[in-house]
Amino acid sequence: MKLKPKMLLGIGIPLVAVFLIVGFAISTMASSALSESKQRSMYEMGEHYANAIDKIVEMNRVAVETATVNWDEAMPEGEALHEALLHMAERPGVVSAYIGRADGSAATSASFRAGYDPRERPWYKEAAAAPDKTIISKPYKAASTGKPVLTISRAIEKNGEIKGVAAIDISLEAVGDIVRDVKVGETGALVILGPETEYIYHTKYTVDDRLNEIDGGAYKDLAAKLTTGKPEQIEAEYQGSKKFYAGVPVGETGWTVLIALPRDEANAAVTHMSMLVVAICLAALVLLLGITYVLLHAVTTPIGVLCSLMEKIAGGDLTTHLPASSRSDEIGALQNSCRDMMTSLQTMVKTTKEAADHVSESSEELTASSSQSADAAQSAAEAVVVIAEESARQSTIVEDATEKVMGVNDEMKTIRSAVDKAQQAVASTGEATQEGAEKLRGAIRGVEGLADGSAKTSAAVEKLYEGSKNIAEINELITSIAGQTKLLALNAAIEAARAGEQGKGFAVVADEVRKLAEQSEQAAQEIGTVIGKNSEEIEHVFSLTKSQQDDVRENVREVKEAGEKFRRIMGLVEELEGEIESVVKISEKVQKSCAETAAAVQEINEVSHTVQQKATDVSAVSEEQAASTEEIAAASQTLAHLAEQLQQGVQKFRL
């Protein structure tokens, strides 16, 4: 089987299997989803209409309960009662509103037949039997109209005594009007069942008919499953047709809204969806198979051409021309590679033919040159002997040079050691100079501080001297005041003496003042003496301070000059360190050069020995070369024979 059918089968079979599986899965999931959606729609529809019906019933139940609560205290009579009943009867779906009293009388929004006793009616009896409850009756035909109704009743009670029963009749036809126009699919139906499966609403059956009794009770199980008082969804057979059912209870009435839809109609959309999925899968499968065939054709056709070309090449035909491919995929690359390979083969065969011719010619030339090589080998052997002798003499000279260079190297090591010591000494001197400079800078700072202190001391002494002068002036003023006070005291004593007895007291005071003035004058003189001595001492100290301040300035100047000299010394030491460093570097270079020279000389010596040894080896090799030349001559003849065979092998290719 060729490549194209194999690839079609290898790709087509898995594709068909995948599409079958995917189509089945999609169809199954779509069927399930659509079926669930349909049943959910049926339930939601039933729930909607059940709520609508329950709303009517519940609204009227509340109306009855409200009326009975109000009438428990005071029941209206006459026209007021009639108006109240008419108002209750105006509600949607209500046929009539009425009251039955305990005495057998009754009042209604409509009319009663003659001799009507409400106490005999089921609605009255049930409400009177349970005064605390609102009774929702089973559907029945009204006595007044003969039409099916539902009664909501509640007892009117006062002080534990039943005064009557209020009731409302709801028309089942009005309930049916809510769902009468509802359409369930094309052939589905919506019915309302009572607590005993009687038909509250049906297009065919009446309230006298029951689902569990139709066809001899054939649908008793169906009725039981759908009227449980809870939402139910089932699938069952009815009158020979499979149907989906959804039952939704209506509040507290005991009714059930029942929706039925034939399974065939419900599954029609599922069947349509399945057919659509199958059609899409088949179309996609055909399209993919067509694309696969086109792609395989585009791949296998160039490969077939290349296979034919390879067969021709295997037969030695290199004349076929293969055009370059314009495709940019792997097939195009393969075709271009085969084209390049064919070109390379043509070139190689052509080159091989030319090479075979050259080899044949070269083998003849090799035979001729082998004899010349033998003569050259002999001459080379003689030259090698001379080289060996010269190498031995050169080795002796090199050994002497090596000893001298090693001696120079030892001397340079000694010089280097001395330079290192000098460098260390200069470094120590530099460190000592640096330390001395630091201490000198500290001394300069101390002397400058001393100069500042001396200046401050001189200023303080000068201020003290000025203060002493001020104190002397004040003391002279005190002495003058004391003299004046003494004169005043003397004048006072004279005046007191003149006054006689009246001035004795004043004379005593004047005498005391005079004594104090004399004491003050004496104390002022003593203070003046002390101040004079202090002034002389302060003046002496001031002159000494001035002289000391001049000496300190001179010392500061000299210390600064010493610091400047130290800086110059440090500069010279640094220059000396730089020069010694240069000497160290030069000595290192010289020592390194000596070591390199010694190593080079040693290497030359080793090379000389090697050359001598190699010369000996070359001499032996030359002898061997002479023998090899003869072997080359024999090999050249063999090469000529092989070249002839190569030419014969290349001849089978056609270019």
CATH number, domain of 147, equals 3.30.450.20
In a domain, 655, yes or no: no
Nearest Cα neighbor of 225 from 215, 214, 236 is 236
In a domain, 29, yes or no: no
Per-residue confidence (pLDDT) for residue 20, from 0 to 100 = 76
- The single residue listed with the structure tokens 């039952």 is 247
In a domain, 460, yes or no: yes
**Euclidean distance between CA atoms 480 and 482, whole angstroms:** 5
**Range 366-383 burial, b when 16+ CB lie within 10 A, else e:** bbebbeebbeebeeebee
As a whole-number percent, the residues of the chain with pLDDT over 90 amount to 3
316-359 pLDDT, tens per residue?
776 777 777 777 777 777 777 877 777 777 787 778 777 767 76
11-56 pLDDT, tens per residue?
778 777 776 787 677 666 766 666 677 778 888 888 898 899 889 8
Residue 441, C-beta contacts closer than 8 angstroms, at least 6 positions apart: 563
> Residue 100, class by beta-carbon neighbours within 10 Å (0-12 exposed, 13-18 middle, 19+ buried)?
buried
If pLDDT is split at 50, 70 and 90, which confidence band does 248 have? very high
Mean pLDDT over 615-625 rounds to 63
Query: Are 100 and 200 contained in the same domain?
Result: yes
pLDDT score of 382 more than 70: no
pLDDT score of 60 more than 80: yes
Nearest Cα neighbor of 161 from 75, 61, 76, 63 is 75
Between β-strands 189-193 and 232-238, what pairing exists: parallel, antiparallel or unpaired?
unpaired
Bridge partner list, 162: 157
Q: What is the mean pLDDT of the chain?
A: 74
Neighbouring CB atoms inside 10 A of 351's CB total 11
Neighbouring CB atoms inside 10 A of 592's CB total 12
Q: How far is CA 232 from CA 42, 218, 220, 353, in A?
A: 11, 19, 16, 98
417-472 pLDDT, tens per residue?
765 775 676 577 667 667 766 776 776 676 566 667 666 766 765 676 676 677 66
506-551 pLDDT, tens per residue?
677 767 767 776 777 777 677 778 777 766 776 776 677 677 667 6
CB 118 within 8 A of CB 124: yes
Tell how far CA 314 is from the center of its chain.
62
Query: Are 259 and 355 contained in the same domain?
Result: no
Neighbouring CB atoms inside 10 A of 648's CB total 10
Per-residue confidence (pLDDT) for residue 614, from 0 to 100 = 66
Classify 79 as helix, strand or coil: helix
pLDDT score of 213 more than 60: yes
**Range 244-266 burial, b when 16+ CB lie within 10 A, else e:** bbbbbbbbebebbbbbbbbbebb
CB 59 within 8 A of CB 152: no
Instruction: Please give the structure tokens belonging to residue 291.
Output: 């694309």
Bridge partner list, 234: 245
Classify 156 as helix, strand or coil: strand
Query: Are 122 and 223 contained in the same domain?
Result: yes
CB 148 within 8 A of CB 207: yes
Classify 396 as helix, strand or coil: helix
**For the ranges 234-238, 264-268, 372-376, the one whose mean pLDDT is highest:** 234-238
Residue 60, C-beta contacts closer than 8 angstroms, at least 6 positions apart: 91, 93, 94, 152, 168, 170
397-414 pLDDT, tens per residue?
656 656 665 665 676 677
Report how many domains make up the chain.
2
Per-residue confidence (pLDDT) for residue 422, from 0 to 100 = 58
> Residue 233, class by beta-carbon neighbours within 10 Å (0-12 exposed, 13-18 middle, 19+ buried)?
middle
Query: Are 106 and 198 contained in the same domain?
Result: yes
If pLDDT is split at 50, 70 and 90, which confidence band does 282 have? confident
H/E element, 11: helix 3-71
Task: Out of 271, 294, 320, pick the residue that ends a domain.
Answer: 271
Name which of 102-106, 222-226, 460-464, 507-511 the model is least confident about.
Answer: 460-464
Per-residue confidence (pLDDT) for residue 649, from 0 to 100 = 67
Per-residue confidence (pLDDT) for residue 232, from 0 to 100 = 87
Q: To the nearest 10°, report the CA torsion of 496, 497, 503, 504.
A: 110
In a domain, 319, yes or no: no
Instruction: Please give the structure tokens belonging to residue 38.
Output: 């349909």
Query: Are 363 and 490 contained in the same domain?
Result: yes
Per-residue confidence (pLDDT) for residue 303, from 0 to 100 = 75
The amino acid present at 325, given as its one-letter code, is S
The amino acid present at 530, given as its one-letter code, is V
Task: Out of 239, 255, 271, pick the residue that ends a domain.
Answer: 271
Strands (E) located in 229-286 = 232-238, 241-250, 255-262
End-to-end CA distance of the chain: 34
Instruction: Please give the structure tokens belonging to residue 576.
Output: 């000396």
**Euclidean distance between CA atoms 475 and 473, whole angstroms:** 5
In a domain, 34, yes or no: no
pLDDT score of 374 more than 60: no
Per-residue confidence (pLDDT) for residue 249, from 0 to 100 = 92
SS3 breakdown of the chain: % helix, strand, coil, rounded to 5? 75, 10, 15
CATH number at residue 617: 1.10.287.950
Task: Out of 271, 295, 316, pick the residue that ends a domain.
Answer: 271
Per-residue confidence (pLDDT) for residue 311, from 0 to 100 = 76
Note down the domain range covering 200: 43-271
CB 344 within 8 A of CB 313: no
Query: Are 243 and 364 contained in the same domain?
Result: no
CB 184 within 8 A of CB 201: no
**Euclidean distance between CA atoms 335 and 343, whole angstroms:** 12
Per-residue confidence (pLDDT) for residue 384, from 0 to 100 = 53
Model pTM?
0.40
> Residue 535, class by beta-carbon neighbours within 10 Å (0-12 exposed, 13-18 middle, 19+ buried)?
middle
In a domain, 14, yes or no: no
- The single residue listed with the structure tokens 């194209």 is 4
Query: Are 263 and 366 contained in the same domain?
Result: no
In a domain, 24, yes or no: no
Instruction: Please give the structure tokens belonging to residue 116.
Output: 């009507």
The amino acid present at 24, given as its one-letter code, is F
Mean pLDDT over 273-288 rounds to 77
Between 394 and 258, the higher pLDDT residue? 258
In a domain, 141, yes or no: yes
Mean pLDDT over 594-604 rounds to 65
If pLDDT is split at 50, 70 and 90, which confidence band does 1 have? low
DSSP letters spanning 425-482: HHHHHHHHHHHHHHHHHHHHHHHHHHHHHHHHHHHHHHHHHHHHHHHHHHHHHHHHHH
Q: How far is CA 652 from CA 54, 342, 347, 349, in A?
A: 107, 16, 15, 10
